[in-house]
Amino acid sequence: MWRRDRKQQDYIERMGFGSKVLDWLTSRSPRAMGYTVLVVILVGTVGFWLVSKLDSDAKDIDMIEALYMAVITVSTVGYGDLVGTRAEYIFATIYIILGVAVVSLTISTLAAALVAGRISEVFGRRRMERQISTLKDHLILCGFGRIGQLTGRQIHAKGVPLVVVDTDAARIDEADDDGMLGIVHDATEEDALQKAGIDSARAILCSLPSDADNVYTILSARELRPDILIVAMSRAPGADRKLRVAGADHVVSPYTIGAQHMAREIISPTLARVMNLATNDPSEGGHGGVGLEEFPLEPGSPLIGLALKESPIRRDFGVMLVAVVDASGDQHFNPGPDLVMEEDAVLVAIGPPEGLSKLAEMASPPVTKE
């Protein structure tokens, strides 16, 4: 786990650091703190050199000697000094106080970061960003609220690569716990979509807290990738049209779907139970005994060119085709036995998981052993 342990952080805060100072320090990256130390050394080098030039009684030193003085001062080594005048002693005294304070706080901050998981967090996020940069044909889920979490977990369960974008770090931690990649960012900004790998993504799912945020995200995505598939969730009545105008290809309203489902439970309870089984909804009676899936016929599939009556789909797999959508978009519901399956057609099938798994294998080209 790359995120910071809250209990460890609380322990560090009780070690005597002022809360405001600790907050300021821990908000800085190790690289920034390193730069701070370099600046302190640079100031000391220039300061010692200038004092030696401006004070007529001071010993004239070059930049190397001034750097040496700065380093031994902030490191508290103190092998000796090159100062001898009152002005040099005054500057050295002030510089020692400031330099030692900065270096001590920097070391303390790095130690605290090690205990609190700050360094592992930084490197973990960078490792995650590298993993995201290697993804191809993945999905980007904007918003990991209640609907987003349910959507993301169902997609992840299917083995589809997914990147979650949310402004709440705790939600990204939850996505990480579920094995998903995620970034803490505002999805309405183009930079967030670029970090999520929009250039190589298959589609974007917008489930942000407000329709306005979804609209901004859609507009940003369309500007970066005009051809990308966008599915958006609408919350307010009438928002569907605005989301489509913004560029969403499909708009889903959970409230409309929920209302239809509730009405179906009363009016057509048997149909509702069958649909729950087909969609594998465990909360509504689904138990994995039957599934409803779609299977694109990829080039090289042994099913291409076969009539349904000649294929093993029904005979050997126990799977029933609900519909076949050919490459031109024509839909054939309850297709007859003489329908010939063509390349790039999509088979919509219902049946047991084992049969659906076998159909998925046949829909893809055979694996050749080298």
Query: Tens digits of per-residue pLDDT, 222-275?
Result: 999 999 999 999 988 888 999 999 999 999 998 888 888 899 889 988 888 877
Q: Which two tokens stand for residue 322?
A: 């609900």
Residue 138: strand, helix, or coil: coil
Question: From CA 285, how far away is CA 229, in angstroms rounded?
Answer: 32
User: What dihedral angle (degrees, nearest 10) is formed by the CA atoms of 156, 224, 197, 169?
Assistant: -70
In tens, the pLDDT along 10-29 reads 544 444 444 454 455 555 55
Looking at residue 329, its pLDDT comes to 85
Count CA within 13 A, CB hemisphere, residue 335. 25
Looking at residue 23, its pLDDT comes to 52
Mean pLDDT of the chain: 81
Question: From CA 87, how far away is CA 74, in angstroms rounded?
Answer: 19
Looking at residue 129, its pLDDT comes to 81
Phi, psi angles (nearest 5°) of residue 268: -130, 70
Looking at residue 104, its pLDDT comes to 74
Looking at residue 215, its pLDDT comes to 95
Query: What residues contact 26, with CB distance under 8 A and at least 6 apart?
Result: 109, 112, 113, 116, 118
Looking at residue 207, its pLDDT comes to 95
List, by residue range, all CATH 3.30.70.1450 domains of the chain: 291-363
Out of 1.10.287.70, 2.60.120.620, 1.20.200.10, 3.40.50.720, which CATH number does the structure's domain 6-121 have?
1.10.287.70
Looking at residue 12, its pLDDT comes to 45
Query: Which residue stretches of the chain are H helix?
Result: 6-13, 19-26, 30-54, 63-74, 86-116, 118-133, 146-157, 169-177, 190-195, 211-224, 239-246, 254-267, 269-278, 312-315, 353-363
CA-derived radius of gyration, the chain: 32
Q: Please identify every stretch of the chain with a pLDDT value under 70, giving residue numbers as ranges.
A: 1-34, 56, 58, 75-86, 88-89, 92-93, 97, 109-124, 278-289, 367-370
Cα→Cα distances 164→26, 79, 184, 188, 207, Å: 25, 55, 9, 13, 11
Looking at residue 66, its pLDDT comes to 81
CATH fourth-level superfamily of 291-363: Regulator of K+ conductance, C-terminal domain (3.30.70.1450)
List, by residue range, all CATH 1.10.287.70 domains of the chain: 6-121
- The pTM for the full model equals 0.60
Burial class (CB in 10 A: 0-12, 13-18, 19+), 23: exposed
Looking at residue 324, its pLDDT comes to 93
Query: Minimal CA–CA distance to 220: which of 242, 363, 28, 228?
Result: 228
Out of 3.40.190.80, 2.60.120.650, 3.40.50.720, 3.40.50.20, which CATH number does the structure's domain 136-255 have?
3.40.50.720
